[in-house]
Copies of this chain bind each other. A is one copy, B any other.
Amino acid sequence: MMIMKTINFAEKFEKFSDYWTPKVIAEMNDYQFKLAKVKGEFVWHSHAETDETFIVIKGQLNIALRDGEVSLSEGEMYIVPKGVEHKPYAQNECEILLIEPKNIVNTGESGGELTAQNDVWI
């Protein structure tokens, strides 16, 4: 009998150290699971066509909204509705799991130097 390979978040996080560059770890139908380390401030952006799920694996993540504020600790999740402008930020290094459709650019339509190459698997 074959022992199937599972995905261990902690092991995956050991494999990279750069911030704000999501790494694809799995695909479910047309969706991707991505891990990212974040620290500091991201850019304001939105995704016109899709909701975006944030789950905190380790640390503390904040997400600024135009009319509110999200504060996420380990073991918590938040779904940013499609079209809603948001700016993730973290005072200290934080490890997150993102779930969203394939081909989503991390900076949405805002662009800029934090725009990461898509579909980088780890």
Contact = CB atoms under 8 A, between A and B. Distances in A.
Interface of A: 1-4, 6-10, 26-29, 31, 33, 50-53, 57, 65, 67-73, 75-79, 82, 99-101
B28 A99 contact: yes
Contacts of A101: 29
Contacts of A2: 67-69
Contact of A76 (B9, B29, B53): B9
**Copies per assembly:** 2
Given A28-B51, A51-B28, A99-B99, A4 B68 contact: yes
18 contacts: A1-B69, A2-B68, A2-B69, A3-B70, A3-B71, A4-B65, A4-B78, A6-B72, A7-B76, A7-B78, A8-B73, A8-B76, A9-B76, A27-B51, A27-B79, A28-B52, A28-B53, A29-B101
